[in-house]
Each structure stands twice: as C-alpha cells, then as structure tokens.
Structure 1
Amino acid sequence: MFAGLTIEGEAFVVKCPVHGTVVWRRGDTTISTDKRARIHASGNELWFLPASVEDNGIYTCFHPEYAPKMMSVIINPNTEGTCYYEDALYLETTGRPGSVKIFCPCYNDYENASDTKWLKDCKRLCGARYKVVKNVLYISDAIKSDSGYYTCQFTYHHGGRAFPVTATTPLIITDSFLLTSPKVLYPKDGDVIEVEIGSPARLLCKAWLGHGKQGIAISFWEFDEANDSKRFVTSNKSYMVPGEGQFAEAELRITEVREEDLSLTFRCVLANDLEYETTEVTLVPKGAGEGHSNTYVIVVFAILAGLTMILVMVYHVFHVDIVLCVRRIFNCNKSRDDGKVHDAYVIYPTNDTYENNFMGSFVHQILPEVLEKQCGYRLCIYGRDVLPGEDAISAIESRIQKSRRLIILLTEWLAKSEHFAYEHQIAFYNVLIQNNVKVILLEMEEIGDYERLQESLRHLIHQQGTIKWRAKYMASPSSPNTAFWKQVEYQMPWRRHLKKTTTANPAYGLL
C-alpha cells in the first residue's frame, strides 16, 4: 500500500501507480473530477487543494486493465516551527566535499509553480555559498557540516488561487569516492625481464587503487611451482599519497636465478574494493637473442604478433557473436546463489505520450517477447510486476536491489526533464554508490547533446556508452539476430536454461 504524506494547508497530489485515466474512490464515495472541487481527480492523479487532516484515510484508484490500487493518505498537522516530518522525507541526496546541488523532489508534479526557496533544518538559508536556479539549490564549498535536512518551498497556482508546497530531502556529504578498477603502473603485461644466471634478481610491480582509502588493498606475486622455492622471497605494502590516492606495491626477490626459472611465468596480482588486475612477466638471460637465436626470436615474435593482431581484429569485429556463441556451446546457465530474483529491472518514460506510442509497445510487448520468451530472462517492469496494494517506493527499491541488471531507456523527454523520477534516483544510488547493479543503457531516440542529462547519467554514458535503436530495426523489431538485441543479450547476465515449454511469465516480478 502506497503512503502519501504532506502537511495540512498545502497543495498535495497523489498518483496512482498505473498509467491512463482512473476512477478514485474513498470507501464507497467516488471522487469528483470537477477541478474546482477541493478534492478532485484528474487522469491518474488525486488532488487536495489544500490538504486537511480530515482527508486522512484510504483511497483506491480503479483502472479496467489493472487490479485496484489502495493508497494511504496521511496529512500531518501544520505545527509552528516544524517544516517537515520524519515520515515524509524524500530520497536522500549524497555528495562529496565541493560543489553540491539538490533538486526540489516534487517540483515537476506542479505546473505553473514559482521558483523555490530553501531552508536547512527549518532555518532560512542565506549567504554567497547558496544559489537557487528555479528548482535547484547549488551549494559551493560544501563540507560535512552542510549535511542536514533541506526543505524547498514554492507556490502552486490553480484556478486563480495560490497554494504552498514543501518537500524535504536529507543531504549527506561524504568523503567516499566512486570505485574504480586498479590501474597497473608497472610492469606491463607480457614484459620480458633480463636476469643473470647465478645472480640475484628483483621484480617489482605497482598499481594505483583509487582516490579514497580502500577496504581491500592486495598485492602479491605468484608463480608456477619451482625447485627450491626458498630462493623466492616476497613482500608487499600499500600507502596513501595526498592528492593522488592509494597505491599498492609487491616485490619478489630471487636470491639466485637458475636456468629452470626461465620457463616460469611470474604473475603479479593487485586488487581493491572493486576487482583485481593481473600482469605477467617472464625472465630471459642477459645477452640472449644475439646471432641466430636473435633472428629466430624475432621471426617467432613476428609470427605471434601477426597472429595476435588477426585474432584481435577478428575478436574486435565479432566479439559479441563470439561471446554469445561460447555461452550457448558451453551452456552457461549457472545456478544463481546471489540472492537476486530478476535478471533485469526496466526503467522507461512513464508519461502518457510515450505510453501510447511505439515506446509503450516496445516496453510491454517487444522487450518481453525477445528477452523473456526468446532468451529466457526474467524481467521486472513497473506497472506489470508490482503487486496490487504494494507501497510503490518500497516496491521499486526492493525490485531494483533484487535485479542483476538495470535497463534504462533513454529518450529525448528524459534529456529535457529537469528532475528524475524516484526510480531513477534509486537506480543511480545502486549503480554509482552501492555499486551492486550493472546498468544497460538503451538510446531509443536521438538525444544528441548528452550535456543536458543528469551528471550521474552522463558519467555512466561516458563510462560504457549506449546501445542505439535504429530505424532499420523497425522492419523486424522482435528479431533477436539484429545487432541491437545481440548487444543487449551480451550485456545481460548468463541466461537460464530455456525449456521448449517455457513462456514469458508476467508474474516474474512477483517472485
């Protein structure tokens, strides 16, 4: 059951979690659609102009294609000196020291709204560090003490009357950094190191682990089993460099190099909180490669280099097909013990314009047809896989956390929107902060200038790019053999075993 909370005397709108026009009722009483009424219905919205404590209760929205949705409306009393209630907070904003911006959470739900005014912990903000542009608060030189509860206030105009609206979101300034993969500084993978037989040798490797302090900072050398392993002595360390981040080093000392060591592969392993990287080296005696031996080595390396280039070029062109083929040949349908329920949660434009055109067909027909029926994945699509009466906010957060991937449909409308829906905020929190869900970006319309998008979304696009839907795919939109669907399947997790009798189950999201 969804809970709508606000303060008495303010404008307030509750949205039914289905699209299209619905009928609203409180008990056996149908809510009027007359926009002059204090409480009236419009499309899938229920308006309170203004809200009163007597409005507290259960409201139900009815749509012929969906089960009834029950909404609990709670109106808090307007108490002097109180600008927010703990049970009526929006999703928190997280920032790092420096420049921070906060969006007024519900601003886009109200047309003809005034610019916002802001309070921190119910006290008016003032000072050169604060700048307000329409519905966004910018804080320069933000530090940890700027953490707190930020309330935006604006006026909503309707029918010649003005109604106040407030919304509060917590801000947390943290020193944490986005996780990045370790970057090996030296040696390069495949390096050949010259040594002198019978003399000691020293192998060093070093990697940059990230800007912030890592919980995991691992570095060590490993090699094939060798005779008299006591000749090998290893050591490692990690340390912070102000302004640069954390580094890890590993050292391997060979007290006496022997001929047999030339056949060994020495591998340095370096890891941080995100993942690990390896680099391999081999040893050659000093002076090796002179005369005929040198010519032989050059020829061998030239042949190997040529073959490697050909393989790299083939893999570069056909790597998606190769990976998908390998998955099918080796039946990569592993049993899952990661606690996830869905293979992907789908985020898409929810305005009526997209719902009633090709985008609506793509989300509700084409996408399930290809990924569920033909590829055997389990999708969770909001509006289809959420239980009737569930709290929408909790449902979205739970489904995303139980999904292995996020599929986000990028459109021109998304680029123009100044504020994301709640599920976008949860999605980016899981992708960028908790780092436990991988994202797949489908560019369904030509967006052009990505600079109009939210900063976190631009970061994802810069990091991994998008899969673009082309007009040529309209001829056969459900064919899994097009480049578009191959790229999508490539980025999806290893799929489940698909039996011949398997059909797409709309209830997958209910598991």
Structure 2
Amino acid sequence: MLSLLLCGLSLALPPFVRADACKDVSLQNEAPSAGQPFAFDCTHPPLTSGKVHVTWYKYPSKIPVSKNTQSRIHQEQNWILFLPLTQEDSGIYQCVINGTDTCHRIHVNLTVLRKDWCGISGNGQLILSDEYKQILHAGRDDSLTCHLNFPQSCVLDSLKWYKDCEEIKGERFISWEMKLSVSNVSAEDGGSYACQARLTHIGKQYTVVNSITVNIAETNGYAGRIPKIIYPKNNSIEVQLGSPLIVDCNITDTRDNTNLRCWRVNNMLVDDYYNESRRIREGFESHIFFQKDIFYTVNITFLEVKMEDYGHPFVCHAGVSAAYFILKLPDGKIYDAYVLYPKPQREIQSHEVDTLVWKILPEVLERQCGYKLFIFGRDEFPGQAVANVIDENIKLCRRLIIVLVPESLSFDVLKNMSEEQIAVYNALIQDGMKVILIELEKVKDYTAMPQSIQYIKQKHGAIQWSGDLTEQSQCAKTKFWKKVRYHMPPKRPPPSSSAQPLKHTS
C-alpha cells in the first residue's frame, strides 16, 4: 500500500521534475488538533544543507503552497504553516527538495482531529488528547517538556501549565523555558497535563496547546539512577570548515529512570543559543529498550561548520552526567594567531594598546587579509580563568603575536602568570611555534622583561609599530603590515562546496 501511495504521489510533482528522478525519503503521520496553529519543518540534513529549492504541495494539486505570509496556509523557508488548522486541511502533503541534479520528497500524512481540550464527555470523563506521553519518577525531582515547534517568525510566550484543567501553582512547580520542574514527585502527580502558550505571527495572536499524559514510575533506591554517557567522551572531532556534521550523544539509563537529555553550548540549550540562525539544532531523541536498560540517542546537527564553532565545547547532558566534544580543523590549528597584550598603567599608553589590539589588528589582519585571530579578552568564554584560556587556546593557534610597550611593569599579563604557564610558552617555542613580537614603542632594554620574552626577542626579533593609530595606518599594503604578513602562516584553502556530512557516534 505504501508503494502504491508513493507511486501515486509522484503525479503531484511540478512539470519540470521527472517522476523517476525524485527519490522518496520518508512518510510521516501527524494527527494534530483542529483550531490551533500547526507547523512542519522540511529541514532534513544533509539533503537541505546545500543550495536546494524546497517547495510544499498538497496532493494531488500541482500548485505549490502559497508563500504569502498572510495566507492561513503558507510556506516559510522550509516550513509549512497552518494558522490555524481546520478539519478540511487533512490530507497528504509533500515537500519537494530540488538540488542541482537531485530531487527528494518527504511526505506528511496529516489527519486533523477535533479534540476537546478540557471538555467534558457524556460520561463525565475529561477529554484530553494524548499526543505526548511523559514519565515522572516518584520520590525525586523531575520535569516535563512542552513540545511546541514553529518557525522563527512565530513568537511563543505567556507559557502556562495545567493539570486536570486547572492552572498549576505551588512551590513544588517551576516553569522555565519550555519545561516544568516538579520537585519531590508523588503518585498524585500523575494525570492529564497541558502546556498553553500564546503564539504571535505578524501581529496576529493564536493560542496553542500541547496535551501530555503523565505516568508515575516508582524508583527503588538510588543505585542505578545516574545515566552513563557512552559518547562523546570529552574528545575532539576533526571536521573541515564549511562541512555539515551530525554528532550523536549515546546514553544508557535504567528503564525506570528517565533523566533529562539535551545538548548545551555556552551554558545555554543549543536550540536557544542558535535560535536566530537555526544553523545548529538538537535532533529528535530515539531509544532502544533492553532487559534492564534503555539506550538513548539524541544528536546535534551542524548545517554548516563555521570558524566560531572550533575550540568551544558542545556538551551533552543526561541528568547529572555530562560529556563534551570540541571541533578542530584537520591540521590541528583553528586560529591563525593568538594575540597577547599588556595592560599598561599609564592611561594614554593603555588607550594606544587597546586601539591597536581591538581595532587595528582585527581591521587589517581579519577583515582585509582574511586571518582568524584569538584576541585575549575578546574570544574566550565568560568566566574562564586566565591560565585556562592561555593553556587551552594557544595550542589551537598557528602563531603567537605579543604586543610590547617599553615599561617593564606594564606587561602584567605575563608577570601575573604562573611558572607553569611560562613553561608552556617555552615548550611551544621549542616545538617550533613562531612568535611575532610587535613593539608599540621602541623597547631599548629587554633585561627587565620575563626571560621568555628575552628568548623570543633573540630568536625571532621584533617588528616596531610605525603609524599614528589613525585610518592611514589601517592599510595592509604599508611596510609595517607587509612585515607582519611575512611572518603570518599561509592562507587556508577555501572549503569544498561538495562536502558531505560526517556522522560521529560510538
């Protein structure tokens, strides 16, 4: 029957696409409620990662779904959006993904049901849709998730939680982001829940409801509650710039213990951190049941790896367990140069250093010359210790740029560092890392400088700044910048446009 259905659907393709050239990817069934907004995302890495054209149709029509955002049913980017649903919208919808020489289709079998939220049936029983089933564990703190997925143009706010049609209140319940935390779960916490939010789209407001059936699972003792993350293992992954990437987080947990599982970056949920670009997203969770355990998989998808992704930990959380991976380029270096600079005590000199480091260096080396710099004070994570910033990130750089001023006491960055950190510099120098010394003013006496700086000066020399820190000094063709560029590493080759996604899993 599925083969016949997919065969019949091929007739709905637009005239310029051959039916035998379009490959069927999947058929999904959706049964949402009438009277409220609904959306379906056709983003399907890696099929939609490159330059493709996505078009929605309703079978058997050959006319594309409208892209007029004022229409009740319309396409926005890869999404099809219903504002709101009616029972007449039931049917089969297909998303056609056209590439340069490829064609793929995703089919959605939409059945719109008339579900009464908090209505009463003839036998007095509460009628609630059970679109989502979730579990709370007795005797511990747990949480529920509100599953509302809409495109960026839809703003969700005013989230409220209900149990048996009454709004949830009390000290044991805390609503945060799209979750409801429940402390000290008991058997009475089971039942029919719903999360309700206000959805605003181009000035129009709607109410959207997600109904949840909650069961209570008994927990016997504390042993076995802590989940085990099999992968990632606090490891690094080599990936080319511009490539798509999918990384699985594999977790084992006991059958009676459902911890929260999610991906975070910079202490934020991935979907929230990349809410605007949606370039990096958390995927759907899948699981496999074993005799005593459950094996979970939740992935993180990069539509395109960018330079800012390298060197930062992407963390998979499962309850109290956490593990991360870090992306790195195949040659092992992420940045072209690490910039280390002093904090002079004189205000005028401090202003000159900041102007050179924060304005002129990025303008010339990054914008005009295309290098990637790690500037101490600009590119580290908030709250990172100085020693950790230097120790972790300098290893990811191909060059080390040190800005000097004549006052020996002004070089507080190095003077305040531990001997271990100074040893890191010496080790890097001995391992062949090239260092570029830039004298903001002529340094006549190096004897008051740390020994590591004296050694660098003897081995690599120094380039003296020439200019007045104005726009005339911000030209890459001047003599000073030609000297700096001579010591910088070779330019990186551009990323391949035909990169295929990498899949990392245990």
TM-score range for the pair, normalised by the shorter chain length: 0.3 to 0.5
What is the TM-score with the length of structure 2 in the denominator? 0.42
What is the TM-score with the length of structure 1 in the denominator? 0.42
